Amino acid sequence: MFQYYKMEDRKIRKSSEEDYNWLVVSGTDPEEQRHLLDKYQLPEDIFIGANEPEEVSRLEYLRNTKLNHPILYTLIDLSEVTEDRIEDRLEPVTFIYTKDLLITYVSHQSTLIKRLIEKHEQDIQRYEDIVAYSTLMIYTHYIKGLQEMKKQIDALDEAARKTTENNELFNLADTERDMVYLDHTLRDQNHTVDRLMDRKEFLDRLDNEALVYDIKLRQKFAMKMVTIYRDLLETIGGLFSDMMDNNLNHLMKYLDSAALVVAVPSLIAGLWGINTGGLPGKDNAIGTIIVFGLAILVGILTAVYLSRKDFSK
């Protein structure tokens, strides 16, 4: 879907195809993509992977187009819909901007542009403002998403100290999977953002040191969070393994104790039954009962002793 906007005098209003300087393209309609490629002679590979979570963040100059020295800038946004899989939450956002036109490509479920206009319309004078504030909002989304993930990590840490149930192990695997996606996405994205923030021409036109500082600060904050949380998940995974090993050791101690309780009476009966020198008590009518009673008594005493032993140490 094409949405046409006109930016002027710190206002952004919806416009038409006849009068616009900001074009927002949402969705994956092949005909619309083809129309855009043909109209501006854009490279054919621009939309390849444009809606995939594995899309690569990039900053590059486009050549041989109908636009005036266009620059391509792609980032990956994080949706706030925590119920979705991480692949569905990662939403590539592409900006193609020149001095007189901005083209923005987003997924059909993205709310980035709507929120950007609602929150920063009065702050936007140039295309660089849109790009910079979008970058700031994207990192804000990552920070909020990681803060929600921290709650899951805390719950897993508590569960690892009490249980080794399958559900908790599945939750750990899912959380680790999400963290892998976020870690690789942020590392890839940081390189692109750093390159943009090093471009003197971009910074001169943006002319907003406070905004640049906020972007770099949130960038570092998000990266530190994902690094710490991934290490925490590795620690929790190790704790689950140690707890399972510990429980297995306790189980083996109980099984060894049970085997010992059974073995002691068997040993007594076996010794009594040795035929060397004759069978003790063979001429006594209650000899067998005495041996059985002794074996049972010793077995009970052994069981009582083992039951009072602390196997958790």
Give me the DSSP letters along 196-212: HHT-HHHHHHH--HHHH
Q: What are phi and psi of 81, to 5 degrees?
A: -80, 90
What was the pLDDT predicted at 31? 87
Least trusted range by pLDDT, from 10-24, 156-170, 241-255: 241-255
Tell me, what's the pLDDT at 271? 65
| DSSP SS3 for 23 | strand
Is the predicted pLDDT of residue 44 greater than 90, yes or no? no
Q: What is the pLDDT of residues 195-223, one digit of tens each?
A: 999 999 999 999 999 999 999 999 999 99
Angle of the 127-160 helix axis to the 209-272 helix axis, nearest 10: 20
Residue 109 tokens, joined? 């479920």
For all residues of the chain together, what is the average pLDDT?
84
Over residues 124-141, the mean pLDDT reads: 94
69 contacts 40 by C-beta, under 8 angstroms: no
Using the predicted structure, report yes or no on whether residue 51 has a pLDDT greater than 60. Answer: yes
Domain ranges of the chain: 2-245, 250-307
Residue 52 has pLDDT above 90, yes or no: no
pLDDT of residue 310: 65
Would you give the end-to-end CA distance of the chain in angstroms?
66
Q: What is the arithmetic mean of pLDDT over 100-128? A: 91
Nearest to 2 by CA among 87, 151, 106, 77: 106
- pLDDT greater than 80 at residue 38: yes
Q: Is the pLDDT of residue 295 over 60?
A: yes
Mean pLDDT score, 172-180: 88
To the nearest 10 degrees (0 to 180), the angle between helices 209-272 and 287-307 is 160
Pair 188, 54: CB distance under 8 Å: no
Length of the chain: 313
> Model confidence at 48, in pLDDT bands (50, 70, 90)?
confident
Q: What percentage of the chain has pLDDT greater than the value 90? A: 39
β-bridge mates for residue 75, sequence order: 93
Identify the helix (H) or strand (E) that includes residue 269.
Answer: helix 209-272
pLDDT at 298 over 70: yes
Which among 3, 10, 2, 1 has a CA at the least distance from the CA of 130? 10
pTM of the model: 0.78
**How many whole angstroms from its chain centre is CA 158?**
19
